[in-house]
Amino acid sequence: MFPLPEADGRTVDDFPDHTSEMAALRTLGLPVNGFLGTALDAAGVHAHLDDLQSRRDALDYQIDGAVVKVDSRPQQVALGSTAKAPRWGVAYKFAAEEAITRLRDITLQVGRTGVITPVAELEPVALAGTTVSRATLHNWDELARKDIRVGDTVVVAKGGDIIPKVLRVLVEMRTGAEQPLPPPASCPVCGSPTVRREPEVALRCGNARCPAVMAGRLRLFAGRDACDIDGLGGRWIDLFLERGLVKGPADLFALDRETLAGLPGWGGKSADRLLAGLERARRRPWAAKIFALGIPQVGVSTALTLARNHANIDKLIEATPVSLADLPDIGPIVGEQVCAFFTADDGRELVDSLRAAGFFLAEEDLPPPPVAVGDNWFAGRTFVLTGTLETMTRAEARAAIEALGGKVSGSVSRATDVLVAGAKAGSKLDKAQELGIETVDEEAFARRLADGRDGDAGKDT
Ligand SMILES: [Zn+2]
């Protein structure tokens, strides 16, 4: 049994019952649920469960039930346990909360692997503390099995997870106007014929270059667990695809500042932020890079296992289903998927293009990181130089500012961010002060330059 801290030394067997054990844990400062209660008989247990269920929506965490335990420790010991679980405790599940609503439409979602999922568009209905207007229908087999039709009155529920689902149709509510929706013959996004890879039940878009598939891949690639690219949200990915700027993740690395800065809603600052984010992407941990490839069945933890057992991309490509099956948590199915990914044309293309973009270089083989332009004091700000600089020429000062992502302008206006005032500064200094513009002398300017060049990002002293 697990010991309590040394100062105490008691174990679970030193407590007469579960209640006093929990009380001891609470005095030690450990979080113990406040809804713990005791009952003398079954009616008391049910009363407590009913009370808990009535409070369910008001809790700031989700619960799907409660555990009923025998309180007395000697009785627990007497009851013992099976190979799987103690005989003195049982999980009581609340009935899933259900609501009745009308299914207005069924829309199709194309995921990053090309799988086309039917989604129920519902008349909004209150369910378990939230308003639900969409629910997953999983796949076409399920849709057919439950005989769900557009216009149906349906029962929706929230199961263990957050996404609600359609449980069943109230057939008796049908008017005859309800329409079944056959599986689509073509992709709703690109129009390519759909395919079904036996023995899968999923229906897929057969086009590896489907914009929905590319958008999904790019989203995964840029996401937090993958490359964590700052400044690349879903709407920008859609914009890049629309404009034909990228077709896959590797194209991101070829984007240039000028193109980016000219996009609607963009500017120098956002361009620099993205470019710095892409530079950091090349330095992401190896496991994150594997996850970023979007190999089917490979989540964050599988990617970590693959990374620990394969030093680099070449070693990973050489892996076989047999060698992978030996790794912890990777069964034959995942092993097959990994190998199939690297032998399929689009997987190979993705790897080759990323390799060409320097994505798989080890940290030590990468050129030294440039100053994170997006992060330093100069980036995206407009400077005006005035007066005489002692340690550098105007041209040198201008070049230094621009190298760190700043701009230099000739006259002071409301668009000016910083005035660099050398000796004998005149009217520009007066105007800057009048407009409340930040002013630095040469010494402070030189210090900022040194910080910027060292990549001393964002140090605002
Ligand atoms: Zn498609």
Q: What is the pLDDT of residue 122?
A: 96
Q: If you measure from the C-alpha of residue 167 to the centroid of ligand 1, how many angstroms do you get, rounded to a whole number?
A: 29
Q: If you measure from the C-alpha of residue 348 to the centroid of ligand 1, how many angstroms do you get, rounded to a whole number?
A: 20
Q: If you measure from the C-alpha of residue 202 to the centroid of ligand 1, how many angstroms do you get, rounded to a whole number?
A: 14
CA dist 285 → 198, 280, 304, 372, 443 (Å): 35, 10, 10, 19, 39
Q: What is the pLDDT of residue 7?
A: 56
Q: What is the pLDDT of residue 6?
A: 53
Q: If you measure from the C-alpha of residue 148 to the centroid of ligand 1, how many angstroms do you get, rounded to a whole number?
A: 24
* Residue range 355-371: mean pLDDT, rounded: 77
Fold (topology level) of 211-280: DNA polymerase; domain 1 (1.10.150)
Q: If you measure from the C-alpha of residue 246 to the centroid of ligand 1, how many angstroms do you get, rounded to a whole number?
A: 17
Q: If you measure from the C-alpha of residue 259 to the centroid of ligand 1, how many angstroms do you get, rounded to a whole number?
A: 27
Q: If you measure from the C-alpha of residue 283 to the centroid of ligand 1, how many angstroms do you get, rounded to a whole number?
A: 32
DSSP 411-428: S--TT--EEEE-BT--HH
Cα 383 from Cα 391, distance rounded (Å): 18
* Residue range 265-288: mean pLDDT, rounded: 90
Q: What is the pLDDT of residue 69?
A: 95
Tens of pLDDT, residue by residue over 89-140, are: 998 888 777 899 999 999 999 988 889 999 999 999 988 778 899 998 888 8
SS3 93: strand
Least confident stretch, 40-49, 91-100, 291-300: 91-100
Q: If you measure from the C-alpha of residue 353 to the centroid of ligand 1, how many angstroms do you get, rounded to a whole number?
A: 22
Q: What is the pLDDT of residue 2?
A: 52
Cα 446 from Cα 400, distance rounded (Å): 10
pLDDT surpasses 60 at 149 = yes
Residues of the chain with CATH 3.30.1490.70: 12-93
- Return the CATH superfamily for domain 373-453: BRCT domain (3.40.50.10190)
Residues of the chain with CATH 2.40.50.140: 98-180
Tens of pLDDT, residue by residue over 176-224, are: 999 999 999 999 999 999 998 877 788 999 887 888 989 999 999 999 8
* Residue range 252-278: mean pLDDT, rounded: 91
Q: If you measure from the C-alpha of residue 193 to the centroid of ligand 1, how many angstroms do you get, rounded to a whole number?
A: 8
Q: If you measure from the C-alpha of residue 334 to the centroid of ligand 1, how many angstroms do you get, rounded to a whole number?
A: 25
Q: If you measure from the C-alpha of residue 103 to the centroid of ligand 1, how many angstroms do you get, rounded to a whole number?
A: 25
- Return the CATH superfamily for domain 286-365: 5' to 3' exonuclease, C-terminal subdomain (1.10.150.20)
Banded pLDDT at 380 (limits 50, 70, 90): confident
* Residue range 68-76: mean pLDDT, rounded: 94
Identify which has the larger pLDDT, 112 or 156. Answer: 156
Q: What is the pLDDT of residue 104?
A: 96
Verify cis geometry, omega within 30 degrees of 0, for the bond prior to 199.
yes
Q: If you measure from the C-alpha of residue 75 to the centroid of ligand 1, how many angstroms do you get, rounded to a whole number?
A: 62
Residues of the chain with CATH 1.10.150.20: 211-280, 286-365
CATH 2.40.50.140: does it fit domain 98-180?
yes
Which alpha helices (DSSP H) does 136-197 contain, by range?
A: 140-145
Identify which has the larger pLDDT, 456 or 34. Answer: 34
pLDDT surpasses 70 at 159 = no
- Block residue for tokens 């997953």: 136
Q: What is the pLDDT of residue 459?
A: 38
* Residue range 293-313: mean pLDDT, rounded: 92
The H or E element containing residue 69 is strand 65-69
CA dist 407 → 17, 376, 395, 398, 443 (Å): 72, 13, 13, 8, 20
Q: If you measure from the C-alpha of residue 209 to the centroid of ligand 1, how many angstroms do you get, rounded to a whole number?
A: 7
* Residue range 13-42: mean pLDDT, rounded: 90
Q: If you measure from the C-alpha of residue 248 to the centroid of ligand 1, how many angstroms do you get, rounded to a whole number?
A: 15
pLDDT surpasses 90 at 452 = no
Q: If you measure from the C-alpha of residue 245 to the centroid of ligand 1, how many angstroms do you get, rounded to a whole number?
A: 19
**DSSP letter (8 states) at residue 78:** H
Q: If you measure from the C-alpha of residue 343 to the centroid of ligand 1, how many angstroms do you get, rounded to a whole number?
A: 22
pTM score: 0.57
Output b/e per residue, 2-37; b: 16+ Cβ within 10 A: eebeeeeeeeeeebebbeebeebeeeeeeeeeeeee
Banded pLDDT at 461 (limits 50, 70, 90): very low
pLDDT surpasses 60 at 363 = yes
CATH 1.10.132.20: does it fit domain 12-93?
no
Cα 48 from Cα 45, distance rounded (Å): 5
pLDDT surpasses 50 at 424 = yes
**Average pLDDT taken over every residue of the chain:** 87
pLDDT surpasses 70 at 152 = yes
Q: If you measure from the C-alpha of residue 95 to the centroid of ligand 1, how many angstroms do you get, rounded to a whole number?
A: 39
pLDDT surpasses 50 at 76 = yes
Q: What is the pLDDT of residue 252?
A: 95
Identify which has the larger pLDDT, 11 or 307. Answer: 307
State both tokens at 460: 């605002």
Residue 101 half-sphere exposure, CB side, CA atoms within 13 Å?
Answer: 24
pLDDT surpasses 50 at 64 = yes
Contact partners, residue 235, CB within 8 Å, separation at least 6? none
